[in-house]
Chains A and B, each alone.
Chain A
């Protein structure tokens, strides 16, 4: 019994160690971090967090990130819904090829697209806006959302559509009041993955912004003072970056399991 518990416990400890270290660091002073090994903060300090929440450069980094991530999630899911419906309900010329091609889009590294996006957005005046980053992230997130949603939609029998039409539902009304509630866990899973990918993506968000829409990841790398990097401050910023993802995961944890069961996540 004890041996059986040992392995998962060790595994979880191993996984949690870096996170613990980050959180512990965020409550230490930079001097303590540099002075040597300590398992717990010797002198607890909230200075790092206070610094972040009082300095607009810091907290605007978070706000900018949340704005473009939310914008991206909304755009990706609302664009993917009709596309996924078409893939799941109709057969049209080249549908299978198109579906596969959507996926291959995800395989291209973001760096490939950084330069064309930068040039294009500069030319049309989108550079350094939240919309620029949100649109750029659609390149990866729309195919992903289509892929996930198509799986959930195909799980809903076509007879449901037919029953609704016979009952007199128009297509938009059926889609909004019957179909969407029937696949709401799919929408949750798709939104979650769009959120996470957009939240952790750094390269495009850094390239496409300068001041107005600077994401938190960019703020963090530019925080070096004359005394070197402020490690405590960076650790606090890192800890705060984990929180939104953790909150979203908490809300969709049951749906994710369903997504795995469908084999689409």
Chain B
């Protein structure tokens, strides 16, 4: 099974929601669409699901062109960010509804619903109405409805975004095993880079209705194609600064310069954009974090086991994210250390050079 997009785009009036996109999605792993709100993830999913018409291009599922087929005829499943269930039906009827429509025999429906409900821990609630369930259970019900039918493709549009932290983790751990061995192409939209990394598989990075990079998740995390891709795949936002390279050295500002090694050393002299993820900028010196920076601390946050500090460095706002609790004082000048081996260098045109 496979799902292919060829030059797919979507326009409403003069506004382009999805720019021409070509993707080849495979089953057996999660295909993550990662991008901020409004980057076109939902628009792209709607196109793939047949809920919106294409401006250009074609969509091929299992070698069959489905571009002109309606959602009903595509054999797909969809789970929304909001908990959408049929309000007047019991949980059982909700899960059974795609099977009933498909004309599956009654006894088989009962078996398959029972199986899906068990997977989603809904078996005690089959006779309740969706609004009598908690938010997490409502979303489980929607997920059960999505897996009960043997779809060619399952679209999960930020299914965990409206759940609280605990439920989100619990359900996220369960998702991969839920779809393992089903043979369906799973597309998972999210705005959180952590989710993309946790779910693995392959990730497509989206900004402004554009897929900027698509590939194995870990690979594109390590090798963002350009500055846009690097920005999408970092939370908190990736730190950037303009640097100049002269000989063996890179110069960040008057106080900060270091000697380059590896691929960056081979760059020709000139101006580049440096980018470094917040957790490679530490408030203490370590074996890796050796390059010293100074900045005015502006905002500090403590989230459980991590501390983050937003600091101003010559007009550039940077973030440091480090494990443990660090004493920061807002307004003070604090010393940070960056890891020179985890710097990305982008050419002025935006593409990754080292």
Contact = CB atoms under 8 A, between A and B. Distances in A.
Interface of A: 157, 159-160, 162-170, 173, 178, 181-182, 184
Nearest to B52: A162
A181 B88 CA distance: 7
B266 to A, nearest CB: 51
Contacts of B50: 165
B101 A167 contact: yes
B78 interface: yes
Interface of B: 46, 49-51, 70-72, 74, 76-78, 80, 82, 84, 86-88, 97-98, 101-102, 142, 145, 149
A166 B84 contact: no
19 contacts: A159-B84, A160-B86, A162-B49, A162-B71, A163-B145, A165-B50, A166-B51, A166-B71, A166-B74, A167-B98, A167-B101, A167-B145, A168-B102, A169-B72, A170-B72, A173-B101, A181-B88, A182-B86, A182-B87
A73 to B, nearest CB: 23
A168 to B, nearest CB: 4
Contacts of B142: 163
B271 to A, nearest CB: 47
Contacts of B49: 162, 166
Contacts of A178: 86
A182 B85 CA distance: 11
B77 A166 contact: yes
A184 B87 CA distance: 11
A181 B90 CA distance: 13
Nearest to A166: B78
A195 B80 CA distance: 39
Contacts of A170: 72
A163 B88 contact: no
The 5 A-B pairs at the shortest CB distance, nearest first, are namely: A168-B101, A165-B71, A181-B88, A167-B98, A166-B78
Contacts of B102: 168
B82 A168 contact: no
Nearest to B74: A166
A162 B78 contact: yes
Contacts of A173: 101
A201 B82 CA distance: 44
A165 B97 CA distance: 11
Nearest to B81: A159
Contacts of A162: 46, 49, 51, 71, 78, 80
A159 B80 contact: yes
A164 B87 CA distance: 12
A14 B66 CA distance: 68
Q: Which of B46, B86, B88, B97 has the most CB of A within 10 A?
A: B86
Given A181-B88, A182-B87, A182-B88, A165 B98 contact: no
Contacts of B87: 181-182
Contacts of B84: 157, 159-160, 163
A182 B145 CA distance: 19
A157 B149 CA distance: 23
A159 B145 CA distance: 15
A165 B86 contact: no
Contacts of A159: 80, 82, 84
Contact of A163 (B70, B74, B78): B78
Contacts of A184: 88
A35 B23 CA distance: 93
Nearest to A157: B82
A152 to B, nearest CB: 13
Contacts of B78: 162-163, 166
Contacts of B82: 157, 159
Given A166-B74, A168-B102, 6 more contacts: A157-B82, A162-B49, A166-B49, A168-B98, A170-B72, A181-B88
B72 A168 contact: yes
A190 to B, nearest CB: 18
Given A157-B82, A159-B82, A165 B88 contact: no
Contact of A166 (B76, B86, B88): B76
Q: Which of B46, B51, B145 has the most CB of A within 10 A?
A: B51
A159 B159 CA distance: 13
A62 B58 CA distance: 63
B144 to A, nearest CB: 12
A167 B141 CA distance: 14
A255 to B, nearest CB: 15
B101 A169 contact: yes
Contacts of B97: 167, 169
Contacts of A157: 82, 84
Q: Which of A160, A165, A182, A184 has the most CB of B within 10 A?
A: A165
Contacts of B86: 160, 164, 178, 182
A185 to B, nearest CB: 11
A162 B47 CA distance: 12
Contacts of A164: 86
A182 B102 CA distance: 22
A171 to B, nearest CB: 9
Contacts of A166: 49, 51, 71-72, 74, 76-78
A179 to B, nearest CB: 10
Q: Which of B50, B78, B145 has the most CB of A within 10 A?
A: B78
A163 B101 contact: no
